[in-house]
Structure 1
């Protein structure tokens, strides 16, 4: 955690948890943008919490009492996109047996959240651009121009600038969406936030299942820290939920995490495919991963105490003999000149 940042300052509500500098910078921008009406573009990899930020932008601002309408742009049918966004009059087309309000009208006075905006088809991009120009639209089958007071928040896990360069996304639409920007860092860029996220997500898992909150062992935590989390916080949350459900004790051990997410067996390894190929079975992969975690744990503990095994054991709340045994197992030597009044023969 960054110096001077407490738990209460690190949790921003609505499931937004973190204390790293990059994360706090993004969230501070979000907070500044809540009182503005200009469009916001939230960018970040899948699972980084873009919808959470979009919801916080709405519910922390003056529009909190008005609707928040989320829409997945990839799910909008291209042939009916104008109807979905702006509604239609009765009889406007074959299946229009009654008039229908579109998403824009449903969001009146509030926020329309366009998730995966990069998935909009060319037709959808044109339809949205017209509304962003002056907040006006026409329902399908009607001649009257209407206006709506709606704030637009869009999210993308793609590089929209690159899509513009390739001609896959309209430049004029991009610049109208990218007025205010919030960039969410991936979880691998803020590993220190695991200290906050893991207990938070385990409490959430406990509420979901109705059981008591659980913790993660030291070795388990090292395993979580060594993984790069391509699915980011969402992947971490699902892993911890599975481990919470399958672990019999109140402390989730490393082997329970490995059973819940076999990909963790390759944590800290060079390409994961190489690590997987080197293991002939899941059991062997687990054993290999545990060896990596144990060795790193002992190395870090001894490094913190300049090689003093007794002090490292006290720091780690372990029996000195157990730590010494692990140090022997992995042939970990102490720094030259380190002193330990109760050194075990064979551990330098």
Structure 2
């Protein structure tokens, strides 16, 4: 699911694109009504050049859907450049996206092209776009207006031509309602919208995917073909897979490597496995609920302290008993704009 399909050097672009599309067909597996409806949507969306927002649970295949839009569309001969917004520190994000000149900041010993330049003529895929800080959201909004940008440390304004696809595992409208994401940016990203169904809402697809992944891993490790016994395959179809396709892929990977012989039996007997799975799901749900409660408390507390300090970060940090730098990180983490709280 996370395999990167890169442009192919000196290969004829049209032939390389055909191969990528063929490879992609091998990765897109399913026959449920929800999945077939999604495929039809992907085809329609791929036929335009407008920005796309893809929403779906973790592990549901958002990057694969973005690749389908790219390789089935008019930009298939161009590059597909994925960016994990959640993995980029705020102070480096603009340099990564727009590039920088030599000496623009500490450690910038050489000039470097940004990712928007690398994606010229193709697609820029922003995963976890909801993780962008308020500053990064402003920079992205400015770029989307006319696709013009200025590398850090440069006086030259450059222009590129990319199609933007963004993805998030949290509803962006909810993040906007809570003040964590700019509404004007959301509307620019959400001209076209795709919502990926979770695996539990795709009856029959889990079994197909399990067989597909078994074939992929057998080929990878040069093993003879292996398959699942009927009871295990039935259990795969019943399991809710809270981690979606990624969880299923990892489970098949482990079970195939641990299996003796050519038939894969689940490492737990099916009835007890169902019970253990339910217990694990309950624990996961509790941990998720606990993490969400902590996040909300932390954000509400930071807002309350900042209001008490009238937007003064240094004073707010003193009230909270934290270092100013650590308090500033909390502001970025929760996308809080202190200027809005100043008198």
TM-score, normalized by length of structure 2? 0.71
The equivalent of 1:339 in structure 2 is: none
Shift of 1:18: 1.1
* More RCO (CA 8 Å, sep 6+): 2
Looking at structure 1, the residues matched to 200 and 174 of structure 2 have their Cα atoms a distance apart, in angstroms, of 23
Shift of 1:63: 1.4
Match of 1:30 among 42, 52, 75: 42
**CA separation of 1:269/1:140 partners in 2, compared to 1, >3 Å: closer, same or farther?**
closer
Looking at structure 2, the residues matched to 164 and 39 of structure 1 have their Cα atoms a distance apart, in angstroms, of 18
Rg larger in 1 or in 2? 1
The equivalent of 1:201 in structure 2 is: 213
Are residue 148 (structure 1) and residue 160 (structure 2) matched?
Answer: yes
Are residue 15 (structure 1) and residue 37 (structure 2) matched?
Answer: no
Contact 2:128–2:168 (8 Å) recurs in 1? yes
The equivalent of 1:67 in structure 2 is: 79
Shift of 1:98: 1.7
Please give the residue correspondences for 1:83-232 in structure 2 after superposition, counting only pairs within 5 Å.
83-232=95-244
Shift of 1:80: 2.0
Count of equivalent residues: 261
**CA separation of 1:172/1:67 partners in 2, compared to 1, >3 Å: closer, same or farther?**
same
Please give the residue correspondences for 1:261-272 in structure 2 after superposition, counting only pairs within 5 Å.
264-267=274-277, 272=282
Shift of 1:269: 7.3
**CA separation of 1:14/1:64 partners in 2, compared to 1, >3 Å: closer, same or farther?**
farther
Looking at structure 2, the residues matched to 247 and 270 of structure 1 have their Cα atoms a distance apart, in angstroms, of 23
Corresponding residue SS for 1:191: coil
**CA separation of 1:112/1:271 partners in 2, compared to 1, >3 Å: closer, same or farther?**
closer
Shift of 1:266: 2.9
The equivalent of 2:292 in structure 1 is: none
**CA separation of 1:80/1:194 partners in 2, compared to 1, >3 Å: closer, same or farther?**
closer
Structure with greater helix percent: 2
Contact 1:266–1:272 (8 Å) recurs in 2? no
Contact 1:224–1:264 (8 Å) recurs in 2? no
Contact 2:54–2:165 (8 Å) recurs in 1? yes
Shift of 1:95: 2.2
**CA separation of 1:172/1:268 partners in 2, compared to 1, >3 Å: closer, same or farther?**
same
Are residue 252 (structure 1) and residue 264 (structure 2) matched?
Answer: yes
Looking at structure 2, the residues matched to 163 and 149 of structure 1 have their Cα atoms a distance apart, in angstroms, of 28
Cα deviations by residue, 1:239-287 (Å, 9 ceiling, x for unpaired): 1111111110211123x2x389x9654346797459xxxxxxxxxxxxx
Looking at structure 2, the residues matched to 271 and 65 of structure 1 have their Cα atoms a distance apart, in angstroms, of 43
5+ long unaligned stretches in structure 1:
1-10, 275-348
The equivalent of 2:288 in structure 1 is: none
5+ long unaligned stretches in structure 2:
1-22, 285-343
